[in-house]
Amino acid sequence: MTGGEPPELRLKRRLFFRDASATLAAMKPELELKTLLLRRPHLTLAVAESLTCGHVQARIGAVSGASGYFLGGVTAYTLDEKVKLLGVNRAAAKRVDCVSQRVAVEMAAGAAKLFGADLALATTGYAEPNRPAGIREPMAWWALCHRQRGGRAAVISGLVSVPGAARVAVQERVTTLVLQELAAYLRELRA
């Protein structure tokens, strides 16, 4: 993490679907998020996107009343923007073409800090194969950062592969997956 990040991060890696099913796209976890985020104590949300290019923000913002919990988001495609806006470590991100678990975690932590949000989601990855980089199928790293008292943060992160899917389908499936993960985290937190 960069110098301004919380000193203690609990990192849990989850590996998800090799092939996301069509039912992912049909589900609407963003509708459940409103109820979960507005329960007391109210929680706020920010988003940092690369691979999903605004899809996560659009899905959250499409829900009536989203302004009660959604503070905003950043779509940062380039290394320079990830560094400048989100505090991503330049050297580490450059080595991996901005696609790694660490980059996703730093993007989420940076979005939480930038917006002063309790929770932040981030996505980074390849929406299409990139043979020169050794990427044979679309894939994404995602992260959820929950800032907590005492300067600590809970972080959940995962990797998803979406073989054979077209670019926009990859973006939509990753969007649905990260929103489902946020909803699952909040259900567990609120239980």
Q: Which domains, ranges and CATH numbers included, belong to the chain?
A: 9-190 (3.90.950.20)
**Which tokens sit at 188?**
């567990």
Which is it for the CA torsion 125, 13, 160, 136, positive or negative?
Answer: positive
The bridge status of strand 139-147 relative to strand 119-126 is antiparallel
What does the longest C-alpha to C-alpha distance in the chain come to? Answer: 49
Choose among 30, 15, 24: nearest CA to 140.
15
Calculate ∠ Cα 147-149-150, nearest 5°: 110
Per-residue pLDDT of the chain (191 residues; tens, 9 = 90+): 444 443 344 444 444 444 444 444 346 888 899 999 999 999 999 999 999 999 999 999 999 999 999 999 999 999 999 999 999 999 999 999 999 999 999 999 999 999 999 999 999 999 999 998 899 999 999 999 999 988 899 999 999 999 999 999 999 999 999 999 999 999 999 88
